[in-house]
């Protein structure tokens, strides 16, 4: 939601920059907490999506936990004030230093992705005379039907442990006295907009839980990861994701055992719509079939279109023209993939126009780079 007051502010600031709208974030958090509290579900915010201080603080203030994928993220979560006993630490390649740090801080749980990793956690915990709580990340072999770079739940992906190796894993961890199995963890991919896919995940988890039951194992925690998608095409008409429908799927289709807690690791659905990348048109260049609107933001500031062919809604906030023309909206980086939109039907645009690239709050600023020796851009919260 970009208001005329926001646009007045944008005119005063040096572009490009990220703008985070805390009202949108708070509205999102209102619905998220109302809908998850309905069922007593536990939410861990996936820090990888956005680590802006004001954004993190607003999330932390809702008593939400943190999902971290590096020692630095664990540290950031703690510095922000997330409770250590509400932090999960995931990732296929945790280093010894990162594991030691998380052990020292007594985090809630390590999401483990392989037996060798569990052996290392066991060894490091033993040296500290501690018992680390772990959840097994299981590969449910479900197709999230999203972009292949952000699908994670298939056997061919590097993530998780496959069910066909589970008997050996279970057998092996019985001898590891400094880890305690407390949970099962799943994550099938990101930007999933078809809620039926979560239903399939639930049904698969039910089968997997049955397998564990047969092996006399009932864990206290089930963690179904994140993945709920957002509307990149119509941000204003779907500003808040369908948390109600999402949680309903789990309530209806996931067979939790008595006393079992259900956890989620949501990133994008919490922060995507509160952030916009604001940029300015440097030049308009006439092409053969299209015009090029060359803006001062590039793939170094928002990588998603170049990396995943992702579409973000683009708006010209200052043009007075109602006439439409075709534009490729491109950045200044020396790469052809530095393109935010191809052949976009767009109001006639001129040098100096202010452009918003919408729904950029998740996996935007955090994925920025300094390629071409570009300066890291500012971010503002208002």
Any contact of residue 161 with ligand LLP (CB under 6 A)? no
Binds ligand LLP (CB under 6 A): choice among 65, 71, 140, 227: 227
Q: Which is nearer to ligand LLP, 230 or 294 (CB)?
A: 230
Binds ligand LLP (CB under 6 A): choice among 71, 183, 225, 361: 225
Distance CA 190, CA 308 (A): 12
Binds ligand LLP (CB under 6 A): choice among 60, 94, 304, 313: 304
Any contact of residue 191 with ligand LLP (CB under 6 A)? yes
Per CB under 6 A, contacts with ligand LLP among 316-375 are 363
DSSP state of 280: E
Residue 54: enclosing H or E segment and its boundaries?
helix 53-60
Distance CA 298, CA 296 (A): 7
Per CB under 6 A, contacts with ligand LLP among 171-190 are 187, 190
CB of 128 to ligand LLP, least distance (A): 25
Residue 110: enclosing H or E segment and its boundaries?
strand 109-112
Using the contact rule CB under 6 A, the part of the chain among 161-169, 240-248, 251-259, 262-270 near ligand LLP is 262-270
Max CA separation in the chain (angstroms): 71
Report the 3 state secondary structure along 165-221. HHHHHHHHHCCCCCEEEEEEECCCECCECCCHHHHHHHHHHHHHHHHHHHCCCCCCE
Residue with tokens 């991919």, as numbered in its chain? 189
Any contact of residue 28 with ligand LLP (CB under 6 A)? no
Q: Which is nearer to ligand LLP, 242 or 353 (CB)?
A: 242
Binds ligand LLP (CB under 6 A): choice among 65, 140, 183, 267: 267
Residue of closest CB approach to ligand LLP: 226
Distance CA 7, CA 64 (A): 32
Per CB under 6 A, contacts with ligand LLP among 74-93 are 90
Beta-carbon contacts of residue 329 (< 8 Å; ≥ 6 apart): 293, 295, 314, 339, 340, 341, 344, 346, 355
Look at residue 205 and give its three-state secondary structure.
helix
CB of 133 to ligand LLP, least distance (A): 17
Residue 138: enclosing H or E segment and its boundaries?
strand 132-139
Binds ligand LLP (CB under 6 A): choice among 67, 73, 338, 365: 67
Binds ligand LLP (CB under 6 A): choice among 109, 266, 330, 354: 266
Q: Which is nearer to ligand LLP, 160 or 280 (CB)?
A: 160
CA 224, 225, 227 angle in degrees (round to 5)?
Answer: 115
Q: Which is nearer to ligand LLP, 272 or 281 (CB)?
A: 272
CB of 308 to ligand LLP, least distance (A): 6
Binds ligand LLP (CB under 6 A): choice among 150, 161, 329, 360: 150
Instruction: List residues near ligand LLP by CB under 6 A.
Output: 46, 49, 67, 90, 150, 152, 187, 190-191, 225-228, 265-269, 304, 308, 363
């Amino acid at each position: 939601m970009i208001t005329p007051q926001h646009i007045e502010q944008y005119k005063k600031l040096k572009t490009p920059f990220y703008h985070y709208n805390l009202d949108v974030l708070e509205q999102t958090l209102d619905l998220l907490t109302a809908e998850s509290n309905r069922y007593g579900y536990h939410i861990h915010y996936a820090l990888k999506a956005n680590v802006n201080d004001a954004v993190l603080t607003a999330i932390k203030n809702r008593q939400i936990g943190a999902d971290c994928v590096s020692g630095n993220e664990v540290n950031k979560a703690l510095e922000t004030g997330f409770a250590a006993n509400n932090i999960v630490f995931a990732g296929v390649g945790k280093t010894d230093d990162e594991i030691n740090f998380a052990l020292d801080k007594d985090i809630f749980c390590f999401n483990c992705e392989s037996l060798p990793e569990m052996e290392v956690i066991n060894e490091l915990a033993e040296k500290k005379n501690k018992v680390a709580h772990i959840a097994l990340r299981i590969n449910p072999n479900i197709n999230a039907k999203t972009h292949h770079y952000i699908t994670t739940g298939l056997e061919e992906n590097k993530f998780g442990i496959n069910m066909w190796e589970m008997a050996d894993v279970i057998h092996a961890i019985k001898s590891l006295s400094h880890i305690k199995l407390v949970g099962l963890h799943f994550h099938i991919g990101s930007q999933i907009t078809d809620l039926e896919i979560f239903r399939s995940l639930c049904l698969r988890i039910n089968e997997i839980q049955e397998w564990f039951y047969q092996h006399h194992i009932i864990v206290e925690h089930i963690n179904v990861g994140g993945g709920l998608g957002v509307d990149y095409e119509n941000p204003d008409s779907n500003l808040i994701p369908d948390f109600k429908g999402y949680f309903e799927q789990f309530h209806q289709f996931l067979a939790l055992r008595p006393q079992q807690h259900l956890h989620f690791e949501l990133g994008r659905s919490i922060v995507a719509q509160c952030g916009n990348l604001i940029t300015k048109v440097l030049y308009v260049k006439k092409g053969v079939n299209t015009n090029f609107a060359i803006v001062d933001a590039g793939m170094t500031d928002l990588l998603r279109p170049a990396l995943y062919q992702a579409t973000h809604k683009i708006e010209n906030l200052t043009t007075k023209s109602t006439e439409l023309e075709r534009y490729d909206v491109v950045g200044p980086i020396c790469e052809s993939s530095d393109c935010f939109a191809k052949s976009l039907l767009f109001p006639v645009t001129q040098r100096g126009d202010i452009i918003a690239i919408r729904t950029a709050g998740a996996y935007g600023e955090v994925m920025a780079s300094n390629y071409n020796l570009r300066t890291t851009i500012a971010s503002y919260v208002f």
